[in-house]
Structure 1
Amino acid sequence: MSRDAIRSVKLSSITLPLEVPISDAKVFTGRQRPMTEVVFLFAEITTEQGFEGIGFTYSKRAGGPAQYRHAQEVADGLIGEDPNDIARLLVKLQWAGASVGRSGLATQALAAIDVALYDLKAKRAGLPLAKLLGAHRDSVRTYNTSGGFLNASLEEVQERASQSVAEGIGGIKVKVGLPDGAEDVRRVAGVRETIGDDMPLMVDANQQWDRSTALRMGRRLEEFDLTWIEEPLDAYDVEGHARLTRTLDTPIATGEMLASVAEHERLIAGDACDIIQPDAPRVGGITQFLRLMTFADQKGLDLAPHFAMEIHLHLAACYPREPWVEHFDWLNPLFEQRLETRDGRMLIPERPGLGITLSEQARQWTTESVTLGTR
């Protein structure tokens, strides 16, 4: 095949409304308001030979417009470039916006482009992205989070947990971190009773405990045989997480809020978790995520990527150790396709690339859009 070149890059800001305002522990501790929407930055890249790739990043509560503006400022550097040179193109865009750093919002803006380039490359090869990268498995264990938020009553959480298990989900995660620890224990006990002793159960405190509270709550929750306790402490408290990892029998999971490879390296080097939870859109895309997987595997860590199952399913399938992928049905309205779950696992789609296309509804939710280059 002759050398191809990028012809155009379309950037779109799409606001996904949530049916019900969502609350985790950060709302109940007064640090955030309930979440009512998620803002996505989509990148659609087209080549001279007619290949197309799609990628996305996202922001919850704030930052979406800034991600869009940053991507708009630097993305024209892709026009005329060979789309196969993903690592080189990522570095080029990083330098185009170097004055605002290589983490946080600027990194997240580039993630949509990086993911789109990988999607395009897999489509050129006629392969699902997992197969292009080199999969260890054709399906990944999956657990559900979207039914376990604190705005829902225990009875609602129990009902949704039962429904998820019936739909082929392999584990249930519920939110904790309420000011009243006894209520956390009551909710966890109720869900454990509903799903039985053999179903994996996880809890997520969303960074709302201090060190002493996390230790006490971790010990109180050990009777429920949890698969992990997620984000018990502030995301940047490496030492505190390391102490919990050494002290508690229950595995500690964290990492979703970190916004660069360097931040994850510090977490990994500090032996601060048993299960690492990177988020490809937050760390800069698939190029960066693959680097993290290498570090995590060298340390013997388990992997459970955060959110964005449409991307993370493919990446988790490539991890040498048996991983988890987080099932969220929030994003379903954005795409024409659905990911299939069966016997506790999410199946790698046979469609090329990520295997997703934007829905007409997503197009209608677009608030801003720009095309760089020509079509």
Structure 2
Amino acid sequence: MPSADSIRSIGLSTLRLPLATPISDAKVFTGRQKPMTEVVFLIAEIHTEQGFSGHGFSYSKRAGGAAQYAHAREVAEVALGEDPNDIQKLYTKLLWAGASVGRSGVATQALAALDIALYDLKAKRAGLPLSKLLGAHRDSVRTYNTSGGFLHASLDEVRERATQSLAAGIGGIKIKVGLPDTAEDLRRVRAVRDHIGASVPLMVDANQQWDRATALRMGRRLEDLDLTWIEEPLDASDAEGHAELARALDTPIATGEMLASVAEHRQLITARACDIIQPDAPRIGGITNFLRLMTLADEAGLDLAPHFAMEIHLHLAACYPREPWVEHFDWLDPLFEERLETRGGRMIVPNRPGLGFTFSEQARAWTTDSVTLSV
């Protein structure tokens, strides 16, 4: 029987991915945020004594990147010398190393990169795609595009991007709403529905910018458009309001992407606050926590549509018992040598070992800070 492996070194780095066009959703138009110009990534690369390696990442938008890197750098050394196969044990050890700053937000987002790297490593050791290591239900997942539907884009641009997405094999279209002028929201949604036709799945995302009364009025006005879901109509922490809205509308309610722990998602599930839950593995602490949440969501009969980071979430969505969705974003393409394939409205799970991605030279060039911890 082969001897147990151990973690020899952990590399941590942070990089800044510039966006070609500043991005604006409803939070910009309501004056709460500035347009987004970059995404900051925390990269973890783990190497073992037997020569195996794995990488993972977490990310932040607008703020928090430096904090994630600093926290990971403080706690990661407790994993050195440990068996990388014992992922849940290692997650607990890392969590307790930084327990004084809590179990959500930056504290767990920093751990997510390490946790994901461990799963990537374990799947590579087994010679399997991550989805197969975990136990897949399918080899492809329904996919919808978001990156073409932001509010900084004109209606003509949104329609053109929708056409391009559908031609590229993507199955659904999501556009942003939540403008101060609700009549303009309705005009844009109806125009896109007319453009793509009644049979194409269409979603809208208000990015938490409606109050309860506005969400109910808008939800009722949108009922005749047969939307696949209305996303984040209310503040992410308003489980009661989301539950009332879900009971009042025929259109499904989706939320969860901004929550940073399994416990916060459990509140949504207990309150029956959504029909579709949208966790984000890097935000809730990695794959270990995502798997826990998937079990809770399935037991509650919820549908699943993970937020962003399709390179990670495609594998996880493939393991969900109910037919899920995965969000298509092309923003991260420059970071990786490989590309995901879309065909017939679905995203194909890659058959490469682990996550199936290697970082590009461009990603290395965007690195701003790095450190290697070793035994």
Scaled by the length of structure 1, the TM-score of the pair is: 0.99
2:10 corresponds in structure 1 to 9
2:161 corresponds in structure 1 to 160
Offset of residue 255 of structure 1: 0.2
1:37 corresponds in structure 2 to 38
1-side partners of 2:362 and 2:191: how far apart? 37
1-side partners of 2:370 and 2:162: how far apart? 38
- Tell me the percent identity: 79
2-side partners of 1:95 and 1:318: how far apart? 29
- Find the residue that maps to 1:81 and give its secondary structure: coil
2:216 corresponds in structure 1 to 215
1:274 corresponds in structure 2 to 275
- Find the residue that maps to 2:8 and give its secondary structure: strand
Offset of residue 222 of structure 1: 1.0
Are residues 1:169 and 2:173 paired?
no
Offset of residue 312 of structure 1: 0.3
Offset of residue 23 of structure 1: 0.1
1:42-191 alignment to 2 at 5 Å?
A: 42-191=43-192
2-side partners of 1:13 and 1:289: how far apart? 23
- Find the residue that maps to 2:257 and give its secondary structure: coil
- Find the residue that maps to 2:371 and give its secondary structure: strand
After superposition, what is the alpha-carbon deviation per residue over 1:274-313, rounded to whole angstroms, capped at 9, x for unaligned? Answer: 0000000000000000000000000000000000000000
Q: Which amino acid aligns with 1:309?
A: M
Offset of residue 99 of structure 1: 0.3
Q: Which amino acid aligns with 2:159?
A: Q
2-side partners of 1:75 and 1:239: how far apart? 37
- Find the residue that maps to 1:310 and give its secondary structure: helix
- Find the residue that maps to 1:300 and give its secondary structure: coil
2-side partners of 1:71 and 1:256: how far apart? 22
Q: Which amino acid aligns with 2:355?
A: L
Unaligned stretches of 5+ residues in structure 1:
none
Offset of residue 43 of structure 1: 0.1
After superposition, what is the alpha-carbon deviation per residue over 1:135-179, rounded to whole angstroms, capped at 9, x for unaligned? Answer: 000000000000000000000000000000000000000000000
- Provide the aligned length of Structure 1 versus Structure 2: 374
- Find the residue that maps to 2:14 and give its secondary structure: strand
Offset of residue 193 of structure 1: 1.2
- Find the residue that maps to 1:177 and give its secondary structure: coil
1:318 corresponds in structure 2 to 319
1-side partners of 2:176 and 2:20: how far apart? 19
User: How well do the aligned residues superpose, as a CA RMSD in angstroms?
Assistant: 0.5
After superposition, what is the alpha-carbon deviation per residue over 1:2-47, rounded to whole angstroms, capped at 9, x for unaligned? Answer: 3111000000101000000000000000000000000000000000
2-side partners of 1:276 and 1:180: how far apart? 28
1-side partners of 2:175 and 2:218: how far apart? 15
1-side partners of 2:148 and 2:3: how far apart? 49
2-side partners of 1:104 and 1:117: how far apart? 20
1-side partners of 2:176 and 2:33: how far apart? 15
1-side partners of 2:322 and 2:151: how far apart? 31
1:273-352 alignment to 2 at 5 Å?
A: 273-352=274-353
2-side partners of 1:157 and 1:190: how far apart? 10
2-side partners of 1:220 and 1:86: how far apart? 47
Offset of residue 205 of structure 1: 0.1
Offset of residue 194 of structure 1: 1.3
1-side partners of 2:10 and 2:255: how far apart? 34
2:248 corresponds in structure 1 to 247
- Find the residue that maps to 1:357 and give its secondary structure: coil
Q: Which amino acid aligns with 1:106?
A: A
- Find the residue that maps to 1:183 and give its secondary structure: helix
Q: Which amino acid aligns with 2:74?
A: E
1-side partners of 2:366 and 2:188: how far apart? 36
Q: Which amino acid aligns with 1:111?
A: A
After superposition, what is the alpha-carbon deviation per residue over 1:154-211, rounded to whole angstroms, capped at 9, x for unaligned? Answer: 0000000000000000000000000001100111111111111100000000000000
Offset of residue 120 of structure 1: 0.2
Q: Which amino acid aligns with 2:262?
A: V
Offset of residue 118 of structure 1: 0.2
Scaled by the length of structure 2, the TM-score of the pair is: 0.99
2-side partners of 1:194 and 1:48: how far apart? 56
2-side partners of 1:77 and 1:338: how far apart? 34
1-side partners of 2:23 and 2:220: how far apart? 28
2-side partners of 1:169 and 1:153: how far apart? 21
Unaligned stretches of 5+ residues in structure 2:
none
Offset of residue 367 of structure 1: 0.3
- Find the residue that maps to 2:330 and give its secondary structure: coil
2-side partners of 1:279 and 1:108: how far apart? 10
1-side partners of 2:24 and 2:223: how far apart? 25
After superposition, what is the alpha-carbon deviation per residue over 1:341-362, rounded to whole angstroms, capped at 9, x for unaligned? Answer: 0000000101000000100000
1-side partners of 2:312 and 2:265: how far apart? 19
2-side partners of 1:307 and 1:55: how far apart? 15
2-side partners of 1:158 and 1:193: how far apart? 10
